[in-house]
Amino acid sequence: MTAVFILSPALRNLLQSGLNSLFGIDTVQIWWFVTRAAGLIAYLLLWFSTVWGLAVPSKLVAPLLEQTYTFDFHQFISLLSIGFTLLHIMVLMIDQYLPFSIWQILLPFLSPYRPFWVGIGVLSFYIILLVTVTFYIRSLIGMSAFRVIHILSLAGYLGATLHGLFAGTDGTLPGMRILYLGGGLVVAVLTIYWLWVRSLPKTSQVNN
Instruction: Kindly report, residue by residue over 96-120, the tens digit of the pLDDT.
Output: 667 788 898 889 999 888 999 999 9
Confidence check: pLDDT of 208 > 80: no
Interatomic CA distance for residues 175 and 87, integer angstroms: 23
Among candidate residues 153, 110, 148, the one with its CA nearest the CA of residue 129: 153
CA distance 4 to 178: 32
What is the identity of the amino acid at 165?
L
168 secondary structure, DSSP code: S
pLDDT tens per residue, range 114-129: 999 999 999 999 999 9
pLDDT confidence tier of residue 161, bands split at 50, 70 and 90: very high
Q: What's the CA gap between 202 and 192, in Å, rounded?
A: 18
DSSP state of 46: H
Per cent of the chain over pLDDT 70 is: 77
Looking at every residue in the chain, the average pLDDT score rounds to: 83
Backbone angles phi, psi at 25, to 5 degrees: -85, 5
3 — pLDDT class (breaks 50, 70, 90): very low
The contacts of residue 6 (CB under 8 Å, 6+ apart) are: none
Taking residues 67-82, what's their average pLDDT? 86
Task: Give the pLDDT score at 200.
Answer: 77
Least confident of 65-74, 87-96, 145-154, 165-174: 65-74
Q: Of 42, 64, 179, 135, whose CA–CA distance to 56 is shortest?
A: 64
Closest CA to 52 of 39, 62, 37: 62
Q: In this predicted structure, which of 49-63, 78-92, 174-188 has the lowest mean pLDDT? A: 49-63
- 168: closest CA among 123, 100, 114? 114
Residue spans of alpha helices (H) in the chain:
2-23, 30-55, 70-94, 102-106, 115-166, 174-199, 202-207
136 Cβ contact partners less than 8 Å away, ≥ 6 residues apart: none
Separation CA 16–CA 9 (nearest Å): 10
Reply yes or no on whether the pLDDT at 5 is more than 50. Answer: no
What is the per-residue pLDDT for 205?
56
